[in-house]
Structure 1
């Protein structure tokens, strides 16, 4: 579930002059909630469910085993999509230490610094992750977008989107829950999804 708390019309603001971004930085967000800027609105996202957190923990653990010590996995990190004026807080993002420690530490990271983003679809906000954020991450030049979808119409699945160009991902691969999802170099990871709970197991 999401709630719109503020909206405005963006006019090509730079990150440090964007009024929505300034408002986002000043929000007092309740513990466990997330605030994002989507299509010109600040939206509050309610805390995720237990199955959602379970999957996030499994994916995070697998990623941590596959990345070098100079990268890390974050769960509450805002990513700017400067070309759209949006800001997302993905369920997981892999980003290098150098991007976290650069001179712009007072601003959220640029999506261009991310190496991989993971979103786990919630029942009430599926279109946001499947369409809005898919387009946003492609515009932000995030090289790999992993979408874990318990609620997909064709059955629970994991889709990896690759090769962003002109606001679209040129390739994607989908596997059902229970199969392994292959993440290419520099990860070289076969993500085991056999423990992922589908919509029938946990609501």
Structure 2
């Protein structure tokens, strides 16, 4: 006999979800009807990427997935959609970062390590990203390519690969344009292309047509 779900249980689950959502760094506005998998509108050039995103969550056959395409093709929508699906299914913690912003945060922490109110040094973003259940790295390749940045990203990505930790990447660059050490790890996972018209324009057109149909 299954135990009954009480209002207290529901409140506790909702509170846990809210705390994990805040911890994730994912834009909270996307929890509504925008950047979740069920609202993605796959087309001829994006259907394979959409299917890969669904499979990444449901089947867990691969632990690295990379969405490649020009700006405006829906890469971030799919990446965040995976993140929200992950949290909604209770699959563990999530961290979302645009790569350039992550590197900025890591540089800042190098000068001023995060500490508790008692002066205890706390894990920085680099350590959090190494250990989180699902990591989403958005816009890989647009960051300033210094030796330090390449080394940090290579260390992070290599660690997650060896630990079999699920990681989602998006990039505007063709795989061959990425740094060789980073490219060698990413290509061992799943890489899918997003092609076709600007996804934002497609959504705007569909919303407009839907509004006109209702008038």
Q: Do the structures match in fold with TM over 0.5? A: no
Give the structure with the higher percent helix: 2
- Larger RCO (alpha carbons 8 Å, 6+ apart): 2
* Higher Rg of the two aligned structures: 2
Using structure 1 for the length normalisation, give the TM-score: 0.31
